[in-house]
Amino acid sequence: MKSYDLLDLAVRNVRNSRLRNLLTTVGIAVGVASLVAMLSLGIGLQTLANKRLKKSGIFETVFVTSRTDFRNADRQPNEEEKPEENPPLDDNARRQIEKLPNVAEVVPEIRAMGEIEYAGKTHASFVAALPPSAKDDDGMASLKGSFFSSANANEVLVQQDFAKRLEPTATNLIGKDITVRYAERKATTDDPSGSGFSITRTERTFRVVGIIEEEPFGGMRMISRARVFFPTAVAEQMNLMQMADTQQMMKAGPQSKVYTMLTVKVINSTKAEEVQDAIKKMKFGTYSFLDATKNVRRFFAIFDGFLGIFGSLALAVASLAIVNTLVMAVLERRREIGIMKALGASDIDVKKLFFAEAAAMGAAGGVLGVLLGWGMGRVINAGTNVWLARNKFPPENFWYVPWWLVLAAIAFAIAVSILSGLYPASRAAKLDPVQALRYE
Amino acid sequence: MVMISPSSGHSTAIELSAVSRQYSMGNATVHAVDEVSFAIPRGDFAALLGPSGSGKSTLLNLIAGLDRPTSGAIVVNGRDLATLDPTELARYRRNAVGMIFQSFNLVPSMTLAENIELPMRFAEVERGERAQRAAELLAKVGLGNRAHHRPAELSGGEQQRGAIARALVNRPPLLLADEPTGNLDSHTGQEIMDLIVELNSSLGVTIVMVTHEQALADKYARRALHMADGRLVNVVGEVAR
Q: What is the pLDDT along chain A (440 residues), one digit of tens a residue?
A: 888 999 999 999 888 888 989 999 999 999 999 888 888 888 888 788 777 666 666 778 888 888 766 555 455 555 555 656 678 888 888 899 999 998 888 888 888 889 999 988 999 988 988 888 788 776 677 888 999 998 889 999 999 889 999 999 988 999 999 999 998 887 776 665 555 677 888 999 999 999 988 777 644 545 567 889 999 889 888 888 877 677 666 665 555 677 888 888 888 777 888 898 899 888 888 887 776 677 777 887 888 888 888 878 888 888 888 899 899 989 888 999 999 999 999 999 999 999 999 999 999 999 999 999 999 888 888 888 898 888 888 888 878 888 998 999 999 999 999 999 999 999 999 999 988 988 76
* Confidence (pLDDT) at A252: 56
What percent of chain B stands above pLDDT 70? 94
> CB-based contact (8 Å) between B1 and chain A?
no
**Which of A110, A317, A346, A342 lies closest to A226, judged by CA?**
A110
User: Measured in Å, how far apart are chain A's first and last C-alpha atoms?
Assistant: 27
User: Per-domain residue ranges for chain B?
Assistant: 43-66+85-237
**Under 8 Å between Cβ of A210 and A132:** no
Please list, residue by residue across A351-370, b when 16 or more beta carbons sit within 10 angstroms of its beta carbon and e when fewer do. bbbbbbbbbbbbbbbbbbbb
pLDDT for B114:
94
Q: How far apart are CA B87 and CA A206, in angstroms?
A: 91
- Judging contacts by C-beta atoms under 8 Å, the chain B residues touching residue A1 are 121-122, 124
> Residue B177 — pLDDT band, cuts 50, 70, 90?
very high
Q: Which residues pair with A212 in a beta bridge?
A: A159
Strands (E), A70-120: 103-108, 111-118
Question: Chain B within 8 Å of A348 (Cβ-Cβ)?
Answer: yes
| Amino acid type, B70 | T
Does residue B5 have a pLDDT over 60? no
Query: Across A260-274, B32-46, B183-197, which has the greatest mean pLDDT?
Result: B32-46
Distance CA B76, CA B85 (A): 15
Q: Are strands A103-108 and A155-159 parallel, antiparallel or unpaired?
A: unpaired
Residue type, B204: G
Structure confidence at residue B240 (pLDDT): 39
Cα–Cα distance measured from residue B82 to residue B72, given in angstroms and rounded to the nearest whole number: 9
Helix axes B86-95, A347-390, angle to 10 degrees: 100
pLDDT of residue B9: 47
Verify whether the Cβ–Cβ distance A434 to B66 is below 8 Å. Answer: yes
Q: Please indicate whether, in this complex, the C-beta atoms of B124 and A2 are within 8 angstroms of each other.
A: yes
Q: Is residue A349 within 8 angstroms of chain B, CB to CB? A: yes
Task: Find the CB nearest A343 among B61, B87, B119.
Answer: B119
Contact B99 A5 (CB under 8 A): no
Tell me the DSSP string of chain B.
Answer: --------STTEEEEEEEEEEEEEETTEEEEEEEEEEEEEETT-EEEEE--TTSSHHHHHHHHHTSS--SEEEEEETTEEGGG--HHHHHHHHHHTEEEE-TT----TTS-HHHHHHHHHHHTT--HHHHHHHHHHHHHHTT-GGGTT--GGGS-HHHHHHHHHHHHHTT--SEEEEESTTTTS-HHHHHHHHHHHHHHHHHH--EEEEEES-HHHHHHH-SEEEEEETTEEEEEEE----
Q: Within a 10 A sphere around the Cβ of A237, how many other Cβ atoms?
A: 12
- For residue B48, give the nearest of B61, B35, B30 by alpha carbon: B61
- Across the A:B interface, residue pairs with CB atoms under 8 Å apart total 67
Whether the predicted model's global pTM rises above the 0.90 cut? no
Q: Which of residues 12-41 of A touch B (CB under 8 A)?
A: 12-13, 16
B67 touches chain A (CB under 8 A): yes
What pLDDT does A253 receive? 55
pLDDT recorded at residue A56: 64
Q: What is the pLDDT of residue A224?
A: 62
Q: Which residues of B touch A348 (CB under 8 A)?
A: 87
pLDDT tens for each residue of B87-139: 999 999 999 999 999 889 999 999 999 999 999 999 999 989 999 999 998 99
| Best CA proximity match to A183, nearest among A232, A242, A229 | A242
Listed residue (A245, A206, A3) closest to A110, CA to CA? A245
Does the beta-carbon distance from A343 to B93 stay under 8 Å?
yes
Q: Does B101 touch chain A (CB under 8 A)?
A: yes
CATH of B43-66+85-237, one of 3.90.1150.10, 2.40.50.100, 3.40.50.300, 1.10.1060.10: 3.40.50.300
Higher pLDDT, B7 or B17: B17
Q: Which residues from B are below 8 Å from A9, CB to CB?
A: 121
Please indicate if any CB of chain B lies within 8 Å of the CB of A437. Answer: yes
Residues in chain B with CB shorter than 8 Å from the CB of A347 are 86-87, 90
CA–CA distance, A289 with A273 (Å, rounded to integer): 10
Confidence of residue B241 (pLDDT cuts 50, 70, 90): very low
Domain ranges of chain A: 3-54+296-438, 110-258
